Structure 1
């Protein structure tokens, strides 16, 4: 009986399976990360500090990968998915399913955290949800540059942080090089994100992921923060979309040129088949 029910519930469309896996993995990542951000901001320093946010997103990435990796490869990042398409590691026809899943999971996570902390948000702001000012709370959900940052400096920060992110991910999953032990990739990727947050988070909040930043921003615009979420920081909102995408592509090409093409398996004598295919890296 249970086998029949399981068979009935099994989704045959690979695109739908990918969409749901990316959505659930992204939801896990974002709920853990945004919840930590909410506690730090709304708790006024009594329930965590900046490191708490770094740890929350690092743990969230680890758990999100564990949730989705078997079905979709757990990209959980629109910039990385797009880079895989550009590099030929992923068919373009699968791009919409990945992006929709990531954006859906991220949006629902923002709504969940909003619901979890609504009373605390209302108490902290007296019902006045703002992007800037002494009781600003929009940064719980999306990233914003520090007041001292120029738009150029902010763009460069996000670009470089994503270069490091994708270089690290490719190294972790490169079995021809010194890849991580099987089963440890998710943990090491989470540690990588933790390190990026600890070392490069001060300037812009290290979005490094369009799927992490845009859906919660749209949610906050709807939920009471208004259009200021798009105009703040000299119209900062587009930077977490473009800079990580370019950074991911440059990171992928850099790893290919500096490491991958110099570390190909040597064909055996008489083997005319040539180089073997390389599976695309995950996250």
Structure 2
């Protein structure tokens, strides 16, 4: 006979597999639409797409990827987001390697799909039988390799690229926390993908021109690997003397950790419970005193009483008691 423990483990394994597949498919949708929008714009010399259609491509890919995967996996689609949530104890560490594998593999397959669909058009850009990628930063752009990964404009420094990537990911992660935390914003689940997609759109509109706005290690590294093995060679990593590609690995992780840290230390006060002051067994929520004072309900039929709880000679919170 099968024990209850075996059944529980089977259900947990099945749920994890389902979540991994959801992360794979969601990340695939994100990258196949995002990189596809770049390919269409570049390979038609801007006739069937421009910088803003690329911004919209990534935003829509993000929204649709989250919409598809959110119910099964939470719709992370981003290793930096998964790590930040794990650090904030909003996600179990034991699931992190599975999510990362699914996300990177989804981005890898997606960029391979884009290469396959646009391969004939990309072949036109070959010179002397090789895909073109400029070897130094004095050239305006690295050719068709930029369809897949992020490369700087000639004037962009490493510091600018790192600061920009960190800042944008920090804002992106902060909005994700605000939108998806039901105890803070109560945004309906069906609207959350739109808010997050619009945030990605905002980052592209504001800061995409210097060197791209990956905000996602899987979205840059996996496509870069595809170009490495797809004919562009080691120059996709050695561009600027190996002093560029790492920005899109380090920046998103640092930015996501900053974003989740700001949310949990500045904006979100976790709800706590204490025994009521009348020494009964009832439990009442503790909230910040200043927050409670600023958000008293406007209701003439209610008498509001705010009391402070003293703990270790410090006022740590308050409870709001409403009596009809």
Query: Does the alignment reach a TM-score above 0.5?
Result: yes
Q: Does 1:93 align with 2:94?
A: yes
What is the aligned partner in structure 2 of residue 253 from structure 1?
Answer: 261
What is the aligned partner in structure 1 of residue 312 from structure 2?
Answer: none
CA apart distance, 1:181: 2.7
Q: Indicate how the Cα distance of structure 1 residues 88 and 11 shifts in structure 2: closer, same or farther if over 3 A, else same.
A: closer
Q: Does 1:210 align with 2:217?
A: yes
Q: Indicate how the Cα distance of structure 1 residues 57 and 274 shifts in structure 2: closer, same or farther if over 3 A, else same.
A: same
SS of 1:237's equivalent? coil
Contact 1:11–1:17 under 8 Å retained in 2: no
Contact 1:167–1:252 under 8 Å retained in 2: yes
Contact 1:144–1:233 under 8 Å retained in 2: no
Contact 1:145–1:233 under 8 Å retained in 2: no
Q: Indicate how the Cα distance of structure 1 residues 39 and 257 shifts in structure 2: closer, same or farther if over 3 A, else same.
A: same
Q: Does 1:176 align with 2:177?
A: no
Equivalences for residues 11-160 of structure 1 within 5 A: 12-126=13-127, 127-132=129-134, 136-160=143-167
Indicate the structure with greater helix content.
1
Query: C-alpha distance in 2, partners of 1:85/1:135?
Result: 36
Q: Indicate how the Cα distance of structure 1 residues 135 and 173 shifts in structure 2: closer, same or farther if over 3 A, else same.
A: closer
Query: C-alpha distance in 2, partners of 1:188/1:213?
Result: 22
- In the alignment, structure 1 segments of 5+ residues that lack a partner are 1-9, 276-283
Query: C-alpha distance in 2, partners of 1:228/1:76?
Result: 27
SS of 1:196's equivalent? helix
Q: Indicate how the Cα distance of structure 1 residues 175 and 230 shifts in structure 2: closer, same or farther if over 3 A, else same.
A: same
Q: CA RMSD in A?
A: 2.2
Map Cα deviations across residues 143-196 of structure 1 (whole Å, 9 max, x no partner): 112211111111001000000100111111233333423311011111111111
Q: Indicate how the Cα distance of structure 1 residues 231 and 61 shifts in structure 2: closer, same or farther if over 3 A, else same.
A: same
- In the alignment, structure 2 segments of 5+ residues that lack a partner are 1-10, 287-324
Q: Figure out how many residues of one structure are paired with residues of the other and give that number.
A: 266
CA apart distance, 1:125: 3.2
Map Cα deviations across residues 12-51 of structure 1 (whole Å, 9 max, x no partner): 5333222211110011111111110001111101111000
Query: C-alpha distance in 1, partners of 2:142/2:212?
Result: 18
What is the aligned partner in structure 2 of residue 7 from structure 1?
Answer: none
SS of 2:124's equivalent? helix
Query: C-alpha distance in 2, partners of 1:212/1:225?
Result: 18
Indicate the structure with greater strand content.
2
What is the aligned partner in structure 2 of residue 188 from structure 1?
Answer: 195
SS of 2:85's equivalent? helix
- In the superposition, the TM-score normalised over structure 2's length comes to 0.77
Query: C-alpha distance in 1, partners of 2:30/2:227?
Result: 18
What is the aligned partner in structure 1 of residue 316 from structure 2?
Answer: none
Q: Indicate how the Cα distance of structure 1 residues 268 and 218 shifts in structure 2: closer, same or farther if over 3 A, else same.
A: same
